[in-house]
């Protein structure tokens, strides 16, 4: 199953009052494991950057001035997400901006049934506990040391790890592998493995041993095989062939 973990940064809280997208970050998952594919873009919001928003993500008007507009990147964004399921933390916020921008550019919007909200997922799994991205990273021991400010791609990468943990992906897979391996061993063996009381007799014939020693001798006294030959006990002759 293909899923896209997505995060955005914006100029504010509400697109209906003039706020716009300034960054989109996406990470692709296949069967809840990262594939290594990602999508990231900065967007010129075509408006001033409020100080409150700048303090959150650090994206200034000057930095965004030469970046593409949403209309310029919309097709590439839609191509990357394809028909995959979208995984978003507090999805109502991000999808509100994304669908506003899509509609504004004359494109179709994304249906809500394609979206998994990890905020709701976390609240169901850990009722009463803090459910912010930072809190969930702390709960699951996910390193956030690089997260000095909010950034769409970094936050999407962190959310991908959180999402896997919320679904029990790592623990479930490890447990499944362990149980399957243990079961396979038990079925194959059927009993506790006991050491042999004595080593099996050599299946080499005396002629084969002599031919091997003659070959080693032909390599010269410094050949590596000579060291092993000196440690060997001459085997008892065995009848038959190899």
- Which residues have a catalytic role annotated? 150
4: β partners: 28, 86
Which DSSP category does 129 fall into? S
Distance CA 5, CA 101 (A): 19
As given in the structure block, the two tokens for residue 230 are: 């000196």
The DSSP H or E segment spanning 73 is helix 70-81
Among 88, 84, 85, residue whose Cα is nearest residue 24? 88
Q: How many helices (H) and strands (E) does the chain have?
A: 10, 5
How many angstroms separate the CA atoms of 19 and 197, rounded?
80
Q: CA-to-CA distance for 9 and 136, rounded, in angstroms? A: 19
Our measurement of the distance from residue 37's CA atom to the centroid of its chain's CA atoms, rounded to an integer in Å, reads 10
């Amino acid at each position: 199953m293909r899923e896209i973990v997505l995060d955005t940064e914006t100029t504010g809280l509400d697109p209906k009052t003039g706020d716009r997208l300034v960054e989109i970050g996406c990470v692709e998952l296949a069967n809840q494991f990262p594939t290594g594919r990602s999508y990231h873009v900065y967007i010129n919001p075509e408006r001033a950057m409020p100080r409150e928003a700048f303090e959150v993500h650090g994206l200034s008007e000057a930095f965004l001035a030469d970046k593409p507009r949403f209309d310029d990147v919309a097709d590439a964004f839609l191509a990357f997400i394809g028909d995959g399921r979208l995984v978003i933390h507090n999805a109502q916020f991000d999808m509100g901006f994304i669908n506003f921008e899509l509609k504004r550019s004359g494109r179709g919007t994304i249906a809500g049934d394609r979206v998994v909200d990890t905020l709701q997922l976390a609240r169901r799994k850990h009722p009463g506990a803090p459910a912010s991205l930072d809190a969930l990273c702390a709960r699951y021991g996910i390193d956030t040391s690089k997260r000095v400010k909010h950034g769409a791609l970094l936050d999407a990468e962190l959310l991908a790890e959180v999402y896997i943990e919320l679904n029990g992906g790592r623990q479930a897979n490890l447990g499944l592998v362990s149980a399957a391996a243990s079961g396979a061993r038990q079925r194959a063996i059927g009993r506790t493995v006991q050491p042999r009381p004595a080593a099996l007799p050599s299946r080499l014939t005396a002629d084969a041993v002599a031919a091997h020693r003659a070959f080693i001798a032909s390599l010269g006294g410094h050949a590596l095989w000579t060291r092993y030959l000196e440690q060997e006990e001459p085997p008892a002759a065995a009848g038959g062939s190899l």
